[in-house]
Structure 1
Amino acid sequence: MHRGGDIDMKCRILVVIMLALAMLLSAFSGCVGGERKDDKGKDDGGAVTPPTDDGTGEKPKTEQQNALEVVWEFYHAWSAYKKYAWGHDILKPVSKEKYDWYGESLLMTIVDTLDTLYLMDFDTEFLAAVQYVKSNLSFDKDIDVQVFEITIRHLGGLLSAYQFSGDSGLLALAKDLGDRLMPAFGQAGALPVEPPLISTGIPARYVNLKTGATSGATTNPAEVGTLMLEFGMLSKLTGDESYYNAAKKAVVAVYDRRSPTTDLLGSNIDTRFGLWTSPVSHIGGGIDSYLEYLWKAWVLFDDPDFKDMYDICIAAVNEHLAEEVDGRVWYGSADMVTGQREATTFGALHMFMPGLLAISGNLEQAKKLMDSGYYMWNHWGIEPELMDYSTMTIVSGNYELRPEIIESAYHLWKATGEKKYREMGYSMFKDIVEHCRVEAGYTKLDDVATKKQGDYMDSFFLAETLKYCYLLFEDSRLDYENAVFNTEAHPLYKISPFQKNAAR
């Protein structure tokens, strides 16, 4: 750790307070004759954009100032969680209540937030949270957990925090969790149970952490394929290849069942028989991170099989799902066998795609889709969960504090160096502050049209959304060229940062 503790946090907060005072003075100086100047920071979509020097004498804010604004809002949300829900999975910020996914806490928000604390230089908070997790987190619970969610949040969070800190207690927890999840693949791991007879290679959707019993006859490509980075990294850090092999077998099992006519994947698949139960293909939730992990597994593990699978799948997606409507690029839904258009729906979860296209080298398509997503955001002042791009009408009007569009802005900024992507990210960050901030943290929206607030702050808001907002302006603690983000924004490395630091 290069910065110290409470002093570090107090200094950062003091700087933010000084920044706020400077902003107030700037606002006051903008008033002439008791009237406020025209708001130069509003665009036609109603989103706030960074101030620019437009001849009025106002100077644009620096990246450091923008980063400090994000730090302040993160601190607001993190402090609210600590005050009202510490030791539990989730904060309900409006009612100021706590919530546990499975009736018993798995410290979801704490584990999910560890590497965000590190990347934002909250060293004392990071170390204290690590110690709390080591002392209080137990996976020896008689609960049926969703393998996908626990893998990306807990296994990914523990592995990333271990790679930053070198604390062996975190790796021990990760291995314990990995062993308890292995029965989902039809393998007993460290548990004294008989493995279920799964011949398809497709893992079960749920597993009991204590007994290893599995359930969930139907799953989807994302929940099958989005285990590869975490289980693969667990193999790399422990030397036990069984985790990598099980996860790769699952990825290949889905890939081998793609349509022979289009190379598209369906939405849902039966784990017992390996048959598709929904033939609709798209890039939204349920398929999204399967595609993402094909590319990232190739980068992280140097396994060319993943690159080959990615090339086939992404070509099919671009051929059959992408289309241009009114000059904008979108990705809709199609029948996996015929390629015929099934729906023209697109939403928040689809917006991982510009980032994936950017990191895999298709910058032209990435830029076009990012522009479309930003248009969608500004159309309502914040993005809906799902909309129809042929009519620009809402299908599902909630906003869950999702990170994908800001994640894509970050990757496009890193790939191109174009300032517009920082400006997009800052604009969206300010919209979130305006509409989702409450006294005790941040809450989702039930309706983006009316901005009616819900009562839920998902752990990924701290793990992903605010992390990517921050990294857009300050990522000096992240070795971007060597980091591979899991789908919960936990950075994973071929060589752990703590090992690099020790070698210096």
Structure 2
Amino acid sequence: MRLQKQALQGVVRGSLILEMGALSKMTGDPIYESVALRALRKLWSMQSSLKLFGTTLDVETGQWIEYSSGIGAGVDSFYEYLLKAHILFGKEDFWKMFHSAYVAVQKYFRHGPWYHEADMRTGKATYWQLTSLQAFWPGLQVLIGDVSAANSSHREFFHVWKRYGVLPERYLLDHQMIHPTEKYYPLRPELAESTFYLYQATKDPWYIEVGESIVNSLNLYTKVEGGFASIKDVTTMQLEDHQHSFFLAETCKYLYLLFDDSFVHENNYIFTTEGHPLPVLGTWHEELPEAYVPTNWTFVKRQPRVSRISAMSLQVCPALNLKSGQHIESACHIPDARSDFRCLTDEDCGVDATTCRRRSCSMAGYCGLWLII
């Protein structure tokens, strides 16, 4: 039963639509893609009325047993694969699902540059915490053109990295402290991954400096004879005798590509959730919809760099009087009065860039979408 539960939780995270879909394309046998697609559609049918998803299913009843939802462990790859399946196979259904899910995430989880967790049934905040797996999100936002939002969250993750030397597994935002029992750093790749994507999108040399800082920390704190070791406690830098396979498959790979990206420019690739490249081939998909604006490099058609306008925001908000070359995040976006998102009254809050809803001041003194009617 334990193995069954682990297997189903793995399906919740990703559905394997990229791997199985690619296998069907390569072999000509549709069965692999068909099975993965059936799992994906089943999971999609289980979204709440708010278009949110849980993280854990009971394999016997098929019901959610964990209603606290977010963008981290248990559901991260599900969001990732909705978008990447659209890029790889070009099917409009994948884009529509991702778009719907993305808007719900921005509506119920976003808190300034952070993403807390919320009850999938009510949208009420449950856990105010940063988890290291969430650091993949800025990279995903780059793929849809929300570079400004991606940069904002990435800088917060890197700020925590700099504070401790590495990124702790769980950090309590409401208490500004590391989780007392999850102080470890198992050499996770997500921050390096997002750094790689953001550098590709912006060519800002600051991201190279971030990469250098990550490499220096890994060499300083985790390098041992014969390899690299996970950190058991980031407050003491105590090591443990373990090196996960994702360290080589993802962490080292994304850091390497950050400094030498010739591989991704020779051909178009999309990376699986485990960092394995799959070729984006024209024979695998239909023509991409005009509304979908690629960032500049991982898609089939190489296009001139577009102006930095949020593709996702333009799908949600009315784009009025946009002129070519105009550098904006959204047609409806009004920034908060303060860059740290703090506030005293609702007047200090602006209009959200993704939903175009007026933000309000919470009891904790932060601007956000707290009052959703």
Determine whether 1:436 maps to 2:222. yes
Determine whether 1:253 maps to 2:42. yes
Paired residues for 1:365-380 under 5 Å: 365-380=149-164
SS at match of 1:398: coil
SS at match of 1:449: coil
Q: How far apart are the structure 2 equivalents of 1:384 and 1:480? A: 35
Deviations 1:375-410 (A, max 9, x none): 111111111011112222111110000100000000
Considering fraction of residues, name the structure with more helix: 1
Provide the TM-score with structure 2 as the length reference.
0.72
Determine whether 1:300 maps to 2:96. no
Letter in 1 for 2:8: T
Paired residues for 1:441-456 under 5 Å: 441-456=227-242
1:304 to partner: Cα distance: 1.1
Q: How far apart are the structure 2 equivalents of 1:439 and 1:314? A: 43
Asked whether the 8 Å contact 1:218–1:270 carries over to 2, the reply is no
Asked whether the 8 Å contact 1:222–1:289 carries over to 2, the reply is no
SS at match of 1:461: helix
| Match for residue 243 of structure 1 among 23, 28, 32 | 32
Paired residues for 1:473-484 under 5 Å: 473-479=259-265, 482-484=268-270
Q: How far apart are the structure 2 equivalents of 1:479 and 1:249? A: 34
SS at match of 1:445: strand
State the number of aligned residues. Answer: 280
Letter in 1 for 2:106: N
Q: How far apart are the structure 1 equivalents of 2:78 and 2:33? A: 16
Q: How far apart are the structure 1 equivalents of 2:168 and 2:6? A: 30
SS at match of 1:277: strand
| Match for residue 331 of structure 1 among 90, 98, 115 | 115
| Match for residue 230 of structure 1 among 15, 19, 38 | 19
Deviating above 2 A after TM superposition, structure 1's stretches of 4 or more consecutive aligned residues are 215-226, 270-274, 477-481
Equivalent position of 2:101 in the other structure: 313
Equivalent position of 1:290 in the other structure: 78
Asked whether the 8 Å contact 1:222–1:287 carries over to 2, the reply is no
Equivalent position of 1:25 in the other structure: none
Letter in 2 for 1:487: T
Letter in 2 for 1:366: A
Deviations 1:208-249 (A, max 9, x none): xxxxxxx33883376453411000110010000111011011
Letter in 1 for 2:61: F
Q: How far apart are the structure 1 equivalents of 2:38 and 2:60? A: 15
SS at match of 1:471: helix
Deviations 1:152-200 (A, max 9, x none): xxxxxxxxxxxxxxxxxxxxxxxxxxxxxxxxxxxxxxxxxxxxxxxxx
Q: How far apart are the structure 2 equivalents of 1:420 and 1:374? A: 12
Determine whether 1:349 maps to 2:157. no
Q: How far apart are the structure 1 equivalents of 2:83 and 2:266? A: 16
Q: How far apart are the structure 2 equivalents of 1:449 and 1:408? A: 24
Answer with 295-304 or 220-229: which moved more. Answer: 220-229
Equivalent position of 1:406 in the other structure: 192
Equivalent position of 2:370 in the other structure: none
Letter in 1 for 2:52: L
Question: Which structure has the higher relative contact order (CA within 8 Å, separation 6+)?
Answer: 1
1:459 to partner: Cα distance: 1.1
Quick one: structure 1 residues 246 and 224, their matched pair in 2 at CA, closer, same or farther if it must change by over 3 Å? Answer: farther
1:453 to partner: Cα distance: 0.6
Q: How far apart are the structure 2 equivalents of 1:277 and 1:217? A: 14
Q: Percent identity?
A: 36
Deviations 1:5-30 (A, max 9, x none): xxxxxxxxxxxxxxxxxxxxxxxxxx
Q: How far apart are the structure 1 equivalents of 2:17 and 2:131? A: 25
1:489 to partner: Cα distance: 0.7
Equivalent position of 2:52 in the other structure: 264
Equivalent position of 1:364 in the other structure: 148
Determine whether 1:486 maps to 2:272. yes
Q: How far apart are the structure 1 equivalents of 2:7 and 2:61? A: 10
Asked whether the 8 Å contact 1:232–1:247 carries over to 2, the reply is yes
SS at match of 1:346: strand
1:278 to partner: Cα distance: 1.0
1:424 to partner: Cα distance: 0.7
SS at match of 2:263: coil
Deviations 1:337-392 (A, max 9, x none): 11000011112111000000111111111011001100111111111011112222
SS at match of 1:286: coil
Paired residues for 1:16-415 under 5 Å: 206=3, 215-216=4-5, 219-220=8-9, 223=12, 225-260=14-49, 262-324=50-112, 329-395=113-179, 396-415=182-201
Residue ranges of structure 1 left out of the alignment (5+ in a row): 1-203, 207-214, 497-504
SS at match of 2:138: helix
1:252 to partner: Cα distance: 1.2
Q: How far apart are the structure 2 equivalents of 1:372 and 1:360? A: 20
Letter in 1 for 2:140: L
| Match for residue 425 of structure 1 among 200, 206, 211 | 211
Q: How far apart are the structure 2 equivalents of 1:274 and 1:479? A: 43
Letter in 2 for 1:394: I
